[in-house]
Structure 1
Amino acid sequence: MVGIKDVAKAAGVSVSTVSNALNGRKNVGEETRNKILQLCEEMQYFPNAAGKNLKSGTSNTILFNFSDFDRSFYLKIIEGINDYANANNFDLMICTNKSCEKYMRSNLTSGCITLDVKMGNEVMNRAANENYPIVVLDRVLDNPHIKSIVVNNYDPMVEMLQGVVDRGYRRFSFLGGLESTDDNSERYQAFLDVMEKNSIPFQRRNYYSGDYREKSGYTAAKIMTLSGEVPEVIVCANDNMAIGAIRAFHESGLRVPQDVAVTGFDDCDLAEAMGLTTVCIPNYERGYMAAQSLVDIIRGNSDMETLKISASIKWRKSVWDKRPRNMVK
């Protein structure tokens, strides 16, 4: 019977290094870890439950991948995934981009749900196959083994912004998230279409680049106040940036919405407390549906059609009606 000492000898490392590699500790280099895992498979050394999965080629574990710890809505998504997984006798493994790819294998996990802008399409296309389905929550990929569940960004953004225009606003700025993401592209396109429909001019210099984090919203609002170019309303591509902007405006003595209105997108935990007008994404349900879809595919019910999730508007005090009272219907 092969033991850990045999693996260590074959790899040219110590027994403790083999143990650390198998337990996922960070003090083992990626190249060494992969070499050890490969030798374990070749030598049929299976020390634990994960090893048994390697041997049998089966798993009952869902993998969820994300990387942005600054965005609280992930917790709701994880809660939804976990509730469905538990109810259907699946375990849940959570990891981040740097460590995720090595677990995207059918003998370690049953399939993967991912919401991570840092994970490239090539990684998912390489991992997905007939025995390893993937559900992706932030983009649409042309792969028969990858199902996309994405938010309908465009329609609710149009509805919210038309409501802002109807309340009398005419001078807009837009604070975008990561420009490489589909979410930002769709939300910004909705913004531009509403501006064009209402014959409201918009100059690119009034577009501010952020990264979906609160700090970038704070920085953008500070730049606006210091340059003297504060709009009537700043449309933010997500709530975190909107909350950062509100805090910066308050520090500068500006009132929201009396001096500047702010909108967001997501309806994160702080949005209601901050009185933020936003688009509400049902994130618990989003996670639940992702897990349900993945388990169905694992069990042979291969519905790989893209699913779009609807969202709703939450009107709060960060936007008010600027029209004279006799014009308000």
Structure 2
Amino acid sequence: MVSIKDIAKQAGVSISTVSYALNGSTKVTEETSARILAIAKELNYIPNAAARSLKKRETKIIGVFLTNYSGAFYGELLQGMSEALGAHGYELIVCSGKESHRFLPEGMIDGAVVLDQTFSSTDLLTFAERGHKLVVMDRELAHDNIKQVLLDNKAGATLAIEHFVENRHKKLYAVTGPNGSYDSQQRLEAVRQEVQRYPHVSYHEIQGGFDKQSGEKAAKRIIEEYTEPVGVFCLNDEMAIGMYNYLAKTDYQVGEHIHIMGFDNIELTQYTSPRLATINYSKRKWGALAAVQLLQLIQQKEVHNERIYVTLVEGESVSGK
């Protein structure tokens, strides 16, 4: 691999002069700088990013930590982050798994956006205390080096329950997300609070996991207990799609016997029949805002916590009884 020592030898200058030229310093004349850059290009010189980051104390790389990469949820979110970071000269790497947590303390990234249950809040606060900049999308933490960009989960869940009640549903199920999920907990809290306002509604919960398989299992149980049309609020769209898949093999019809509402408005919901009612928000905006918040933290600008608002998308999967 070509080093700056090789460039210096061919150019007949010192290593420090080459370093100045490669970094655009005015300490080197334009003529000398142009000659050095031409030699570097001729030799196919590739800068050592690790060495550069040690010197400048920055990598121009941001990490986003996800619990996993599965499902249809993450594409728009990551696109929003990538576009926002690219506009400011930063790159994005996507990380998953506990081994990747060392990227922060080892200085391999300049900061992190966290949507990852495997990160404990204690660890995040420790990193923040050491000066690392973080934006969290899946919890609430108080520290000067941490900001949060959260979904308005409770408003979305409230909209869903109100929609079922307005359509005169008297028996409701909620299919939850995995234990430990902040979004699931927030949505479930709002559901429980809202159904208390309607004592005539029979309410039941089924443990889910934010995946299609748990939606299929929930559909199986609901059919086994079926006595009358029911409303089912799946706390994400993936589980709702799983219910569609299972019910398609039975005589039970979505929107007639089983009325389903999702959450996230993923692209796939546009192709469901009948159209899945769901809770919508801009995943691209959510990702972009989290990325911009992090850059502002890194640049030591004033940053405020943000909330992403949601709306109800009506669909034929929920109809009046």
Offset of 1:179 from its aligned partner?
A: 3.1
**Matched residues in 2 for 1:174 and 1:117: separation?**
22
1:172-211 aligned at under 5 Å gives the runs 172-202=172-202, 206-211=204-209
Corresponding residue for 1:109? 109
- Is the contact between residue 210 and residue 239 of structure 2 (CA under 8 Å) also seen in structure 1? yes
- Is the contact between residue 59 and residue 106 of structure 1 (CA under 8 Å) also seen in structure 2? no
Offset of 1:298 from its aligned partner?
A: 0.9
**Matched residues in 2 for 1:55 and 1:217: separation?**
51
**Matched residues in 1 for 2:54 and 2:216: separation?**
48
Corresponding residue for 2:243? 245
**Matched residues in 1 for 2:228 and 2:213: separation?**
18
- Is the contact between residue 49 and residue 59 of structure 2 (CA under 8 Å) also seen in structure 1? no
Unaligned runs of 5+ in 1: 1-46, 323-329
Offset of 1:230 from its aligned partner?
A: 7.0
Cα separation, partners in 2 of 1:216 and 1:271, compared to 1, 3 Å: same
- Is the contact between residue 229 and residue 256 of structure 2 (CA under 8 Å) also seen in structure 1? no
- Is the contact between residue 170 and residue 202 of structure 2 (CA under 8 Å) also seen in structure 1? no
Residue type of the partner of 2:252? Answer: L
Quick check: 1:264 aligned with 2:262?
A: yes
**Matched residues in 2 for 1:169 and 1:196: separation?**
14
- Is the contact between residue 160 and residue 313 of structure 1 (CA under 8 Å) also seen in structure 2? yes
- Is the contact between residue 58 and residue 106 of structure 1 (CA under 8 Å) also seen in structure 2? no
Corresponding residue for 2:120? 120
Number of residue-to-residue matches in the alignment: 274
Residue type of the partner of 1:217? Answer: G
1:30-41 aligned at under 5 Å gives the runs none
SS at match of 1:92: strand
1:1-329 aligned at under 5 Å gives the runs 48-105=48-105, 107-129=107-129, 131-202=131-202, 206-228=204-226, 232-274=230-272, 275-303=275-303, 305-322=304-321
- Is the contact between residue 156 and residue 312 of structure 1 (CA under 8 Å) also seen in structure 2? yes
Corresponding residue for 1:7? none
SS at match of 2:196: helix
Offset of 1:132 from its aligned partner?
A: 1.9
**Bigger CA radius of gyration:** 2
In angstroms, what is the RMSD of aligned CA positions? 2.0
**Matched residues in 2 for 1:136 and 1:172: separation?**
32
Offset of 1:231 from its aligned partner?
A: 5.4
Corresponding residue for 1:8? none
**Matched residues in 2 for 1:71 and 1:230: separation?**
32
**Matched residues in 2 for 1:140 and 1:241: separation?**
25
Offset of 1:202 from its aligned partner?
A: 3.8
Listed one character per residue, the Cα deviations across residues 149-170 of structure 1 (whole Å, up to 9, x for unaligned) are 1001111221232122111111
**Matched residues in 2 for 1:185 and 1:260: separation?**
24
Listed one character per residue, the Cα deviations across residues 132-152 of structure 1 (whole Å, up to 9, x for unaligned) are 210011111122211111001
**Matched residues in 2 for 1:139 and 1:200: separation?**
34
SS at match of 1:84: helix
**Matched residues in 1 for 2:225 and 2:164: separation?**
24
- Is the contact between residue 263 and residue 318 of structure 1 (CA under 8 Å) also seen in structure 2? yes
Identity among equivalent positions (%) equals: 22
Cα separation, partners in 2 of 1:129 and 1:121, compared to 1, 3 Å: same
Listed one character per residue, the Cα deviations across residues 82-109 of structure 1 (whole Å, up to 9, x for unaligned) are 0011110011111113232111137321
